[in-house]
Amino acid sequence: MSNLDYLNSGKIRNDWTLAEIEAIYNQPFNDLLFAAQLIHRQNFNPNEVQTSTLLSIKTGACPEDCAYCPQSGHYNTGLSKEKLMAVQKVIEKAQQAKKNGATRFCMGAAWRSPREKDLDVVIEMVRQVKDLGLETCVTLGMLTDEQAGKLAEAGLDYYNHNLDTSPEYYEQIITTRSYEHRLDTLQNVRDAGINVCSGGIIGMGEKINDRYGLIKQLANMPEHPQSVPINMLVAVPGTPLGEVEKLDEFDFIRMIATARIVMPNSYVRLSAGREDMNEQTQSLCYFAGANSIFYGEKLLTTANPEAEADSILFKRLGIQPEQRHHSKEQVEEEAAEIVAKGVAKAAEETTSSKKPLFYDATVGNARGATEVN
């Protein structure tokens, strides 16, 4: 077995070197896609794609200075500041997302970190969205271990916190939060038992070594992120990256394939930037191992292909939206919750009834029960 064959084997590892990731990324394009597709088939149905919907529940005026982000309060992008959305409004959006075929509902707030009173509102959103039968994901900025624990208790399925780029290029993109801050939040999420959603953005002016470095950081976490969003920069006028040269789409496809090879069990999300991709590029991304998308017309504040366009492309490719699969433990847990709610409701109705029923052992009739008026 050659060294490249070993690297392309799909073995789960957390000790990747930069040189190994470089070798995978730079192999001939057809070989790269072939290796990625083989690994994809070993771990997933190659003709299913997980579909999520993303909603901005609090928009604008973020104190962070992420150079790519129109929500940063440091830049004038014409984006209006909006308060935290009401719970009922969020639930209505979630219901529509489920109707459109999404299996996961993601909620994003433009915060450095959530205040406790805001976190309580988000927790209620999580609970009610889960009651709809949807998986839940939130991205709220940095979390303490205590906050992560509260979200876990509410039943949160995924927490998104991207690394954005390599450690070496990071300070060129953001100065208000360190790379270690991001890693600490991800550890708090992991320790709370919540699935990690973490990836990055390419096309921000980084060198190719920074792309290898991003993949290396993600793949060498204690556990691979369960979801890895790979974003292509959406250059927004008014941000420092508003005039960055457009990324070569073959480079983007190579990132998708490399992520699939080094993180075989992770969902690789074809994320921001799809609005600027033609159907052929998106199709190659699916072949390279992308098996998750955001489904709907908007990604927080930037455009995204409409759900109808995705459905049409799926049909042409023979792809089906992945259905939410429940483990035996999840089924038993949800069944127990339903029974518990039913028992509690019955007890409440009995307590409030004007005609209580009781068993009177002194009564010798055949039925042994007496109704008191």
Task: Quote the CA–CA distance of 150 and 148 in Å, as a whole number.
Answer: 5
Active site includes 62? yes
Comparing CA positions, the residue from 219, 225, 153 lying closest to residue 187 is 225
285 is in an annotated binding site: no
169 contacts: CB under 8 Å, gap ≥ 6: 204, 206, 207, 210, 213
Of the candidates 182, 197, 254, 274, the residue annotated as catalytic is 197
Active site includes 285?
no
Q: How far is CA 205 from CA 45, 112, 201, 247, 358, in A?
A: 35, 24, 10, 9, 76
Distance CA 290, CA 319 (A): 12
What is the spatial distance between Cα 97 and Cα 163, in angstroms, rounded to a whole number?
A: 27
- Which residue is catalytic, options 177, 182, 260, 269? 269
Q: Spot the catalytic one: 137, 182, 254, 285.
A: 137
**Catalytic residue selected from 69, 104, 211, 285:** 69
φ, ψ of residue 2 in degrees (nearest 5):
-75, 165
Residue 257 to residue 360: CA distance in whole angstroms? 72
* 197 tagged catalytic: yes
CB 37 within 8 A of CB 46: yes
Task: Name the DSSP class of 51.
Answer: E
Beta bridge partners of 292: 50, 269
Residue for token pair 């709370």: 192
Q: Is 66 annotated as a binding residue?
A: yes
- Among 62, 104, 254, 274, which one carries the catalytic annotation? 62
CA dist 177 and 109 (Å) reads: 16
> What distance, in Å, lies between the first and last C-alpha atoms of the chain?
85
Q: Which of 106, 177, 190, 211 is catalytic?
A: 106
Phi, psi for 136 (deg, rounded to 5): -120, 145
Q: What tokens appear for 72 in the block?
A: 């940063």
* 210 in Cβ contact with 166 (< 8 Å): yes
Annotated binding site: 62, 66, 69, 106, 137, 197, 269
Annotated binding site for [2Fe-2S] cluster: 106, 137, 197, 269
State the catalytic residues: 62, 66, 69, 106, 137, 197, 269
